[in-house]
């Protein structure tokens, strides 16, 4: 009986995935996507713009943020980098995962950080289901492969829902994420690299770092694709 139920649930889940992809296909047919950078129709981020992104010089902007041993971003959040992060995060432009992760790897190479494990900044489970993926998780997996390091998304969880930081004033951001994360005991004795898409006030990274340190992580670093501020 249990086996039948499991098999029925598996079939339903496969049907759900199939139905979702048919839905996506129909939506694309009726409302074709357009490139998040140049606007050309039929692409979420076209090949020309991806080439431009790949050749965009690395800026390696670093910043000192409380509770973290080092923080850096691969460039300023404007022009093509801002468009790429938005398309990747909100418009399913997963073809950007490779070029964006390559920027992170190059930026990390410039730091003298001793990292044991890579951990993505988690989304709340509800938001991950709604979006279908966690953009920081995808970047973390590729960065970990590039550096030959383990990636452990389950070591840090978002234990309560929060409003989207991008929609809040700087002064409200810290309160919004206060106590929102919980780390697993496995982080004890490890130097952790947190991966996020954008660093704005640093509030999310600080809260993640506090949760990791509460479980005795020895060092916490943060890396992101872009930042709206210039830090050198
Ligand atoms: Zn384009």
Mark the residues whose beta carbon lies below 5 A from ion ligand 1.
35, 37-38, 46, 49
- How do residues 102-155 score in pLDDT, each as one tens digit? 999 999 999 999 999 999 999 887 888 888 889 999 999 999 999 999 999 999
Please tell me the distance between residue 119's alpha carbon and the centre of ligand 1 in angstroms: 31
C-alpha distances in angstroms, 177 versus 22, 93, 137, 207? 36, 27, 19, 7
Please tell me the pTM assigned to this model: 0.84
Per cent of the chain over pLDDT 90 is 59
The CATH number of the structural domain formed by 57-226 is 3.40.50.2020
**Residue extents of the structural domains in the chain:** 57-226
pLDDT for residue 165 is more than 90: no
pLDDT over 70 at 232, yes or no: no
Instruction: Give the distance (Å) from ligand 1 centre to CA of residue 54.
Output: 13
Q: Looking at residue 169, what is its pLDDT?
A: 81
Q: What share of the chain is helix, strand, coil (3-state, %, to 5)?
A: 50, 15, 35
CA of 79 to the centre of ligand 1 (A): 12
CA of 164 to the centre of ligand 1 (A): 27
């Amino acid at each position: 009986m249990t086996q039948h139920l499991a098999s029925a649930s598996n079939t339903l889940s496969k049907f759900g995935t199939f139905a979702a992809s048919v839905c996506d296909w129909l939506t694309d047919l009726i409302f074709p996507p357009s490139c998040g950078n140049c606007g050309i129709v039929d692409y979420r981020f076209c090949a020309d713009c991806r080439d431009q992104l790949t050749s965009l010089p690395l800026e390696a902007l670093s910043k000192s943020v409380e509770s973290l041993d080092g923080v850096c971003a691969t460039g300023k959040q404007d022009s093509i980098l801002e468009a790429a992060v938005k398309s990747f995060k909100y418009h399913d432009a997963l073809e950007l995962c490779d070029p964006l992760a390559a920027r992170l790897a190059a930026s990390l190479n410039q730091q003298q950080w001793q990292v044991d494990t890579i951990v993505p900044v988690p989304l709340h489970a509800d938001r991950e289901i709604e979006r279908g993926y966690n953009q920081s998780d995808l970047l973390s997996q590729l960065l970990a492969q590039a550096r030959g390091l383990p990636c452990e998304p389950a070591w840090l969880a978002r234990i309560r829902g929060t409003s989207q930081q991008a929609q809040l004033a700087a002064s409200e951001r810290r309160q919004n994420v206060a106590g929102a994360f919980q780390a697993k005991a496995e982080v004890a004795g490890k130097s952790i690299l947190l991966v996020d898409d954008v660093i704005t006030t640093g509030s999310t990274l600080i809260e993640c770092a506090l949760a990791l340190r509460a479980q005795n992580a020895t060092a916490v670093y943060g890396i992101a694709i872009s930042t709206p501020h210039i830090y050198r």
